[in-house]
Amino acid sequence: MNWITNYVRPKINSLFSRREVPENLWKKCPECGTMLFHRELKESLNVCVNCGHHMHITPRERFKALFDGGIFTEIEVPQPVVDPLKFRDQKRYPDRLKAAQKKTGEREAVLVVEGEIMRTPVVAAGQDFSFMGGSMGMYVGNAIIAAAERAVERRLPLILFAAAGGARMQEGILSLMQMPRTTIAVEMLKEARLPYVVVLTHPTTGGVTASYAMLGDVHIAEPGALICFAGPRVIEQTIREKLPEGFQRSEYLHEHGMVDRVTDRRKLREELVTIIRMLMRQPPAVRGDLPEPAAAEDTASAGKATQDKSATKKGAAAGNPAGRNG
């Protein structure tokens, strides 16, 4: 959904036929079939108000709701070499990248930001499953490292919202090398004794699960999320037997000791702050007199501003690709 389908088209439609309800104002819950009004859905963070099914949410939407007043600043991620292997399957990799950028309006599959949640300053990184399946390539690796470095520098906790189909095949071995690289990022946090909380969202699989997503101090999963190393289809092909109901879903992982908690997205904000403030030995969060996070309309433009700024910086960074560790 973009502003044209969301705003302009309904407006134009309403000029011609006032009675017709534009269909894009409503979304059907894929789980229970309830029709959900878009404003209601936004308010419930894309969670079905009827059955509690958690639908996809982009990191930007999530952060707008998570941070006080919807305000956060983006942290710049060093741009790696684009298409290092000159990878081509049925499409060229740069074309796939461009298509994903056009579709999502984002530069890559992860967003790294800094801000306050209930007046608790944190660094957060969110993976975007709608961007090439949230796959982990060099940019995502750089982003996780940049997030950890910023957290260490400012002595802040890091919250990671994981979502990924795995490694980005189009970057071949270099995507695989993001497993050790992101693990080093986690090590930096551990050595600095800073909390690293992982929120596992639907789906988190493959090399991402087998590196930074499973190395948190606390693991929280959103309900019903698929979290695994090898996906159910691969396993069914290997062992040729049907897998049990709910296999590799959050609740199943909770039962098998892989995650600490399964928490509704609508309650995550409170829970994250509670945990982080204890780990940081801070007094309990002040509740009640905080600005409502809903007043986020001007943040959209604030977010854009930081993005533009990073775009200009990108040129400078590209000239000095080795600068990031310097």
Partner 1 sequence: MKHYLDFEKPLAEIEGKAEELRALARENADMDISAEVEALDRKAEQLLSELYRSLDPWRKAQVARHPERPHTLEYIEALFTEFTPLAGDRGFGEDKAIVGGLARFNDRPVVVMGHEKGADTHSRIERNFGMARPEGYRKAVRLMDLADRFGLPVITFIDTPGAYPGRGAEERGQAEAIARSTEKCLRIRVPLISVVIGEGGSGGAVALATGNRVAMLEHAIYSVISPEGCASILWKDAEKMRDAAEALRLTAQDLHALGVIDRIIPEPVGGAHRSREEVIPAVGKAIEEMLAPLEKLAPEEILAQRRRKYLEMGRKGLAA
The answer to whether residues 135 and 129 touch, using CB atoms and an 8 Å cutoff, is no
Residue 111: helix, strand or coil by DSSP? Answer: strand
* Residue pointed to by tokens 């308010």: 43
Q: Is 87 in the site for partner 1 (CB under 8 A)?
A: yes
Nearer to partner 1, 35 or 234 (CB): 234
Q: Is 183 in the site for partner 1 (CB under 8 A)?
A: yes
Give the span between the Cα atoms of 206 and 203, in whole angstroms.
10
By CB under 8 A, the residues from 116 to 145 that bind partner 1 are 138, 141, 145
Nearer to partner 1, 52 or 84 (CB): 84
What would the two tokens of residue 211 be?
Answer: 């590196």
What would the two tokens of residue 29 be?
Answer: 């819950």
What would the two tokens of residue 62 be?
Answer: 């999530």
By CB under 8 A, the residues from 220 to 239 that bind partner 1 are 227-230, 234-235, 238-239
The answer to whether residues 269 and 66 touch, using CB atoms and an 8 Å cutoff, is yes
Nearer to partner 1, 206 or 293 (CB): 206
- We find the least distance from the C-beta atom of residue 276 to partner 1, in angstroms, to be 22
**Interface mask (CB under 8 A) for partner 1, residues 253-282, using x and -?**
---xxx------------------------
- We find the least distance from the C-beta atom of residue 148 to partner 1, in angstroms, to be 11
Q: Applying CB under 8 A, which of residues 16, 18, 89, 292 lies at the interface with partner 1?
A: 89
Strand runs labelled E in the chain? 26-28, 35-37, 72-74, 110-117, 120-127, 158-164, 196-204, 218-221, 261-262
Nearer to partner 1, 42 or 92 (CB): 92
- We find the least distance from the C-beta atom of residue 142 to partner 1, in angstroms, to be 9
Residue 158: helix, strand or coil by DSSP? Answer: strand
- We find the least distance from the C-beta atom of residue 127 to partner 1, in angstroms, to be 15
**Interface mask (CB under 8 A) for partner 1, residues 200-219, using x and -?**
------xx-xxxxxxx----
CA distances from 245 to 47, 101, 237 (A): 22, 36, 17
DSSP one-letter string for 6-42: IIIHHHHHHHH-SSPPPGGGEEE-TTT--EEEHHHHH
Query: How far does the chain reach from its first CA to its final CA, in angstroms?
Result: 40
**Interface mask (CB under 8 A) for partner 1, residues 287-306, using x and -?**
--------------------
Q: Is 88 in the site for partner 1 (CB under 8 A)?
A: yes
301 class by beta-carbon count within 10 Å (0-12 exposed, 13-18 middle, 19+ buried)? exposed
- We find the least distance from the C-beta atom of residue 84 to partner 1, in angstroms, to be 4
- We find the least distance from the C-beta atom of residue 292 to partner 1, in angstroms, to be 38
Q: Applying CB under 8 A, which of residues 247, 251, 261, 310 lies at the interface with partner 1?
A: 247
Query: Count of residues binding partner 1 (CB under 8 A)?
Result: 56
Residues 6+ apart with CB under 8 A from 303: 60, 64, 72, 74
**Alpha-carbon Rg of the chain, whole angstroms?**
20
Please identify, among the stretches 2-10, 15-23, 241-249, 288-296, the one whose residues bind partner 1 according to the rule CB under 8 A: 241-249
Q: Applying CB under 8 A, which of residues 8, 32, 81, 278 lies at the interface with partner 1?
A: 81
- Smallest CA-to-CA distance from 118 within 68, 160, 64 is with 68
- We find the least distance from the C-beta atom of residue 3 to partner 1, in angstroms, to be 33
Binding site for partner 1 (CB under 8 A): 80-81, 83-90, 138, 141, 145, 167, 169, 171-177, 179-181, 183-184, 186-187, 206-207, 209-215, 227-230, 234-235, 238-239, 241, 243, 247-248, 256-258, 321-322, 325
